[in-house]
């Protein structure tokens, strides 16, 4: 079951997680959507590398701030993505957006031939979130002209999953398929 489709449980978990970590509700909600997107792309595009401020905060824990965009690069043995791979990446991103029932609000501005694209992805903001101070959409940026270096594989865990782990509720992590990846 997809957690955000169970609005009552989702809202409760957003509020409880925010209280547990003493952070705004909107950080918890956006972090959840970022984790869903990353989990989907990581499973389908083996060359992808998650980089930038969000990765430093969420995976490496070296900065303590909420970074709301997703920066993606690539790594492969050829040090370059082919046009077919770029087209495949765009299709994967669009497919994930559709599967999560989000809206890609700038599709006309995206070209699979470009080495840099920004995907603006709109999602339904929870009714519990007030005074939204973040962007009201996900911003996915793909940088395909330069391979990130150095890089290493790290685990990504959403705030909600961390909270459920802290309160010893692996049943909910399993039921909503929100395990770390």
129 pLDDT more than 60:
no
Asked if the structure places residue 12 within a domain, the reply is no
CATH of the domain at 120: 3.30.460
Asked if the structure places residue 14 within a domain, the reply is no
pLDDT tens-place string over residues 35-55: 999 999 999 988 888 877 666
pLDDT band with cut points at 50, 70 and 90 for residue 94: very high
Q: What is the mean pLDDT of residues 59-76?
A: 74
Domain count, the chain: 1
Quote the pTM value: 0.84
| CA geometry: angle 96, 100, 101, nearest 5 deg | 115
Asked if the structure places residue 133 within a domain, the reply is yes
Position 54 scores a pLDDT of 65
| Closest among 80, 2, 77, 75 to 40, alpha carbons compared | 2
Q: What is the mean pLDDT of residues 73-90?
A: 86
Q: What is the mean pLDDT of residues 139-159?
A: 82
Asked if the structure places residue 48 within a domain, the reply is yes
């Amino acid at each position: 079951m997809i957690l955000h489709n169970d609005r009552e449980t989702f809202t409760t978990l957003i509020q409880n997680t925010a209280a547990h970590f003493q952070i705004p509700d909107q950080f918890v909600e956006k972090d959840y959507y970022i984790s869903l997107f990353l989990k989907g792309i990581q499973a389908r595009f083996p060359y992808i590398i998650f980089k930038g401020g969000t990765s430093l905060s969420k995976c490496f824990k070296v900065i303590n701030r909420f970074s709301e965009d997703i920066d993606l690069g690539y790594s492969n043995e050829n040090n370059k993505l082919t046009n077919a791979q770029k087209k495949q990446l765009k299709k994967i991103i669009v497919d994930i957006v559709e599967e999560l029932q989000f809206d890609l609000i700038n599709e006309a501005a995206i070209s699979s031939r470009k080495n840099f694209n920004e995907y603006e992805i709109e999602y339904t903001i929870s009714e519990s979130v007030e005074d939204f101070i973040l962007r009201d959409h996900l911003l996915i940026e793909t940088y395909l002209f330069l391979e990130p270096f150095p890089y290493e594989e790290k685990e990504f865990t959403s705030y909600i999953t961390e909270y459920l782990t802290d309160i010893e509720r692996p049943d909910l992590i399993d039921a909503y398929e929100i395990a770390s990846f």
